[in-house]
Structure 1
């Protein structure tokens, strides 16, 4: 039965099966990084508030250094899925290999910048005198794992584009377990403090990168794709990712502004912000699992010249995003009394975090729509629009957030500004999805 001849109910069931098959394993892989941060936060948080505050600043900086290059995963997923839909597997994997080589080059460049400038960057973020040394230590050590993190992004994009989200799940589970064991052993067993947490994460990330490389290299050899670096291919991969880089830089600027504002509110507020941001990231990646399914499915449909299938899949994924967002919001409300003690015993930090957690819970349905439509447009290769929309969101958010220390409201007001940011994103993405301008077919866009 073809997409055109299927009944609406049968079509929904087909999309549901595809979404579940891709999104459920993708969730496990997506939450690996926020779970790394949450484990680090839980372990380091019991060393003291200053250490947790330092981790909060360093984690935001480190995540920014890696996440600005998330196009290595997202752009590769869309490109590989399109070529798969068109039946050109060899070219798809070759493009993925170019992305991996690009990841290694970018990782080396980031290390060269972060290592000597770490103290200045931490100071720029307004870290207190007590938190700054811990932030600098964690940032410098963790920076050594950035090339591995970027390789993980690129290789994950290849596998997602090939409609394989199970392998990333298995690697993520292994990496999470290794990270937890190494952190406990190095922080407390070896008495390395916050430095032990950083080293544990670096080792775990390197192990994950090695596992991905084994899988991708085997696939390349099986389909006759070259493993050698190709200057033109690497350059093309970089150029294709520029709009998504702009989009991601704007998003990271929003999160960095939020962290900088929280740091200026005091150690208790930045510590509470770190806990909430860790949870928010976990919830975001859970919703993004549907978006990852969207990237792969939309890319495949458009590569096969099936615009009707792409539209129907988009509509169904938005329904999933709203439903999952509501469920996550309820879960956050119910788990608040149990969640905070996992990270801190400081009553001041808990008092700052509790009302902000309510705002996070109420915003989850909005987040569900945002992440799904973001993934749909990425799968369609609509990077230029995503870049413009995120710049507009940054322009709206920045002045509102920067006024929080002056106008008052503390961390609660800051997270209200974050909800405003997500609402602006939802409106821009919804307008684009309704326009149909993203429905461009073919093996390449």
Structure 2
């Protein structure tokens, strides 16, 4: 593919976004490696259970980033910079409020939530410990989501990259110190993450406050604006709930297969998340470019950019799949996996690799439609694709962990069908502020 000016614009946004997105799963993989080497298979399984709960909570709130990106980008494209920053400030306040509510609600429910996964008593106890401590990082993590959305909407993906690399590097260092150096166990891993998330949020608060002062935007919460930000994210919340139902159901099924199956599935999930975040970099560019170009009323540019980003997604997925196959023999050793976990993990990495080209297209189109503000369609599509997945998952429950991963492939193909049909139409091409 020859590099065009449109490619350069995509790369200008996608490359820093790639770095920021990849930083999180890379350091999560470091957490798994530290816990695996220092605490063993039981702790890795516990981290997988607690991580699934925390990922669900955070992903339910991902509209703070995606919705803010689309809103700020559309207002920026229309030349309404003051309204763009007002949307961002309201999103940050909403993030803080949701974070406090999560602590109050989930803390007392932590044992009941963990018990839903059916882990053995040792894994459950450690999972509850990790979950309860990690909740203190929820306000910071949600502020990071909202602040990232503001800057992406302003077409700035470099600052989120710098914050992500700094905070996740700190996270890895603190986890190694607390777990391996001080011997705090799985609680040390949780405290390291909380501290890193909170410091990252502080950086975003400073950046957003400076931008607001430059544009004369008040930092005082606007109740109507905060309420509107929450309402606008409702459809994205439904979409995300559907995504999390799929992933949590898969984790629960893997838990009931045994400790080795759960550990292998947890590691494979982290590898898949790393790849997904890498591909999602193009989707982030899609959100920002689509929102800005539709805000400016340029439908032709939106179509052309979408076609090009789909090509980038397809080829990037193919390359990542090949890299997984090449690295496959080395992955179990990174986590000090025992022989049983190693055998299962090596088998799981085949479907992880083979579905990457499909993932590349799906993530790009998902980002484009989010940038267009087509959240209502995405919500309904999420419902139908989840209904396509669940029968395949329950059938796979009796066939082994590899079959379970193939059921996720059924889900991705269903998403591919719904998203390509929508992108081929015109209903999502709404222009103006």
Q: CA deviation at 1:128?
A: 1.3
1:436 counterpart = 2:426: yes
Secondary structure of 2:397's partner?
helix
Query: How is 1:58-97 mapped onto 2 (pairs within 5 angstroms)?
Result: 58-97=50-89
Of the structure 1 ranges 421-430 and 345-354, higher mean CA displacement relative to structure 2 is found in: 345-354
Q: Which of 249, 256, 276 is residue 248 of structure 2 equivalent to? A: 256
Check the 8 A contact 2:27/2:169 in 1, yes or no. Answer: no
Between the aligned partners of 2:208 and 2:291, the Cα distance in structure 1 is 20
Q: CA deviation at 1:438?
A: 0.7
> How big is each residue's C-alpha offset from its partner over 1:239-288, in whole Å with a ceiling of 9 and x where there is no partner?
11000000001001100001000000100011011100001011001000
Query: How is 1:410-421 mapped onto 2 (pairs within 5 angstroms)?
Result: 410-421=400-411
Match of 1:211 in 2: 203
Q: CA deviation at 1:166?
A: 0.1
Number of aligned residues: 432
RMSD: 1.1
Q: CA deviation at 1:403?
A: 2.3
1:330 counterpart = 2:322: yes
Match of 2:7 in 1: 16
Check the 8 A contact 1:294/1:317 in 2, yes or no. Answer: yes
Secondary structure of 2:4's partner?
helix
Of the structure 1 ranges 28-37 and 162-171, higher mean CA displacement relative to structure 2 is found in: 28-37
Query: How is 1:14-413 mapped onto 2 (pairs within 5 angstroms)?
Result: 14-46=5-37, 47-406=39-398, 408=399, 410-413=400-403
Check the 8 A contact 1:37/1:59 in 2, yes or no. Answer: no
Check the 8 A contact 2:133/2:190 in 1, yes or no. Answer: yes
> How big is each residue's C-alpha offset from its partner over 1:307-354, in whole Å with a ceiling of 9 and x where there is no partner?
000000000000000010000000000001112211133111111111
Check the 8 A contact 1:353/1:411 in 2, yes or no. Answer: no
Check the 8 A contact 1:36/1:201 in 2, yes or no. Answer: no
Match of 1:422 in 2: 412
Q: CA deviation at 1:355?
A: 1.3
TM-score w.r.t. the length of structure 2 is: 0.98
Between the aligned partners of 2:125 and 2:387, the Cα distance in structure 1 is 32
Of the structure 1 ranges 257-266 and 339-348, higher mean CA displacement relative to structure 2 is found in: 339-348
Check the 8 A contact 2:392/2:410 in 1, yes or no. Answer: no
Q: CA deviation at 1:130?
A: 2.4
Between the aligned partners of 2:361 and 2:331, the Cα distance in structure 1 is 25
Q: CA deviation at 1:380?
A: 0.2
> How big is each residue's C-alpha offset from its partner over 1:27-47, in whole Å with a ceiling of 9 and x where there is no partner?
121123323321211111121
> Which consecutive aligned stretches of 4+ in structure 1 deviate over 3 angstroms post-superposition?
none
TM-score w.r.t. the length of structure 1 is: 0.96
Between the aligned partners of 1:392 and 1:106, the Cα distance in structure 2 is 28
Between the aligned partners of 2:338 and 2:47, the Cα distance in structure 1 is 16
Secondary structure of 1:31's partner?
helix
Secondary structure of 1:356's partner?
helix
Between the aligned partners of 2:48 and 2:341, the Cα distance in structure 1 is 13
> How big is each residue's C-alpha offset from its partner over 1:137-180, in whole Å with a ceiling of 9 and x where there is no partner?
11111111011000000000000000000000000110111011
Q: CA deviation at 1:405?
A: 2.5
